[in-house]
Amino acid sequence: MERKENEIVSENGKPEIPKDGSICGYDSLHRLLQSSLTPQIFQEVSRLLVGLNCGRALDTITIGEPAKSLSSEHDFDLQAFSFNAEQESLREPRIVRVGLIQNSTAIPTTAPFLDQKRAIFQKLTPIIEAAGTSGVNILCLQEAWMMPFAFCTREKKWCEFAEPIDGESTQFLQEFARKYNMVIISPILERDVNHGETIWNTAVIIGNRGNIIGKHRKNHIPRVGDFNESTYYMEGNTGHPVFETAYGKIAVNICYGRHHPLNWLAFGLNGAEIVFNPSATVGELSEPMWPIEARNAAIANSYFVGSINRVGTEFFPNPFTSGDGKPQHADFGHFYGSSHISAPDASCTPSLSRHKDGLLISDMDLNLCRQIKDKWGFRMTARYDVYADLLARYVKPDFEPQVISDPLLNKKTL
């Protein structure tokens, strides 16, 4: 097979990931495989990697010219797919169009904070417009989209980006919600003015009329590698809320919460049909986990999952360390994008670019959620009473694990 012109090869002949964050010069693994394999082989590989929706490959959606023009002019990845459900006799299809936006920061982190925030607003405007003109009903942005992800630095000056629930970022998005009749999930750094100016990692749910439906605060806070976010905020106190919107019941499992299966379960028990996972995570830490966890959650809980990750490498003015013995550094690493949507029937979309801003659009028939529940019976066959009993005992100080040892384990043989 001939090597592509933009593929980087090291001295030992093995491909390397280019510094721009692409995969051997390709935007994503899906596009690398599509370019490298014959159509017949790629079709079979794709079946194994992204699954089948109702027994066939995922349908693509034709994007309108306004969105395509915005994508071309502002250089962001634009992809669109459709998840189908089986035709039912007693229920009409419940088609919802969902959009996910991934993006890099707009200007260096050394710029004045207000300039940084306004530059992100300006950068996102054409991408949000593309979603709106494409008829997106529910749009979700990435974790802390209105600022650089500075929580590696442990410098408190970045708290200046925090804002109230009804602050500048919310007001910016409310205009789009009203203009396009669109529900928008806005993950921000929240400042809770009524409770001593406390900082939270929060998702604001903006209704399709521009109203604020509610908020959810991040349940699980990472303390791994550079991700020492408890310097800024602690575990949330909003439980596992599901928001009933004009287009369906949605929930938000913010970033690190995706590593906790019971967190996913709780949103499902509360009736979520779509769970969004706005994130900020880097390749060295989590990339092999990224295509697995959300898809598993969609399968186990019979709902759709939208996974969003920011893009690019963000450099900060002062180098920092993470207590892991590695030299000080001025960046987290590469945020690898790769946003995608997973369905309850184990199918999923190809990912957006690993190194470019992007908008992923997907139609989904929410009837598929109940159809999969009926097919697999996960709710019916679960043993919640048994799990509840174990958890109730586990949280007590005198908990004893249920371990049965081989009575011959410590006996000497003759």
Given 24, 117, 163, 218, the catalytic residue: 218
The tally of CA atoms less than 13 A away on the side-chain side of residue 275 is: 35
Bridging pattern class, strands 77-83 and 329-336: unpaired
Strand order in the sheet with 77-83: 59-60, 77-83, 358-365, 95-102, 138-140, 183-192, 198-206, 212-217
User: Any catalytic annotation for residue 218?
Assistant: yes
Angstrom distance (rounded) from CA 211 to CA 352:
30
- Closest Cα partner for 207 from 250, 161, 167? 250
Q: 118 with 105: CB under 8 angstroms?
A: no
Contact 105, 90 (CB under 8 A): no
Residue 36 parent element (H or E): helix 29-36
| Size of the chain, expressed as the number of residues it contains | 414
Q: Catalytic residue at 2?
A: no
Beta-strand pair 138-140/183-192: parallel
Largest CA distance in the chain: 83
Residue matched to tokens 């509840």: 388
Specify whether 255 is catalytic: yes
Cβ proximity of 303 and 323 under 8 Å: no
The one-letter amino acid at 196: G
From the number of C-beta atoms within 10 Å of its C-beta (0-12, 13-18, 19+), residue 18 rates as middle
Which residue of the set 24, 117, 143, 273 is catalytic? 143
State whether residue 377 is helix, strand or coil: coil
| Strand partners of residue 189 | 201
C-alpha angle 341-232-108 in degrees, rounded to nearest 5: 70
- Which among 362, 359, 337 has a CA at the least distance from the CA of 78? 359
For 305, phi then psi, to 5°, come to: -130, 130
Instruction: Output the CA torsion 237→128→301→58 (10° steps).
Output: -170
- The catalytic residue among 24, 152, 255, 348 is 255
Contact between 224 and 289 (Cβ < 8 Å):
no
- Using DSSP's 3-state secondary structure scheme, residue 275 falls into strand
> What residues act catalytically?
143, 218, 255
